[in-house]
Amino acid sequence: MWARSFLSASLCAALWLAGAKATAERGARLFNGEEALSGRIREHGETLPPEAVRCVNCHGAGANAGLGRAAAPRIDAAWLMEFHQRRGGPPSRYDEATFCKLLRTGVDPAQILVARSMPTYELDADQCGSLWSFLTGKNPQAGNKNAESQREKR
């Protein structure tokens, strides 16, 4: 009897972890443009081509190479979850809800509009959660380990 319960619990745990991994994997596909996102420039009606709204274009590791200035911050767990002050506003940081609000509306956690060049996206909850999971490493099996390791690298 206990063996059957243990096996059932193990199977449930394995399926739950596989789902969490798939969420972070989907986030990577969305970030890198392997799965298309729909976005537009704020206050414009036309949807941009998928290759123009890939997150990696502006926020990836090599996105700002050779520009002399950062066009957009490199997005990682530490950057999202550490407090930052923007344009004289109060220090703020992201959580999943404020991150998703930013992507959909262009408004950051301090209620400040980000640059107009940042597209706003038509995302469902699964897409946004997948991006958050990928960028922060916050999925059930990883906890906050990825964020801590990212901070140690800086």
Average pLDDT over residues 124-142: 84
Tell me what pLDDT residue 87 has: 79
Is the CA virtual torsion 96, 81, 112, 53 positive or negative?
Answer: negative
Helix (H/G/I), strand (E/B), else coil: 107: strand
Tell me what pLDDT residue 66 has: 55
Radius of gyration in angstroms for the set of CA atoms belonging to the chain, rounded to a whole number: 18
Q: What are phi and psi of 92, to 5 degrees?
A: -145, 165
Domain range annotation of the chain: 23-153
Tokens found for residue 137:
């490493």
Tell me what pLDDT residue 150 has: 38
Q: CB of 121 within 8 A of CB of 114?
A: no
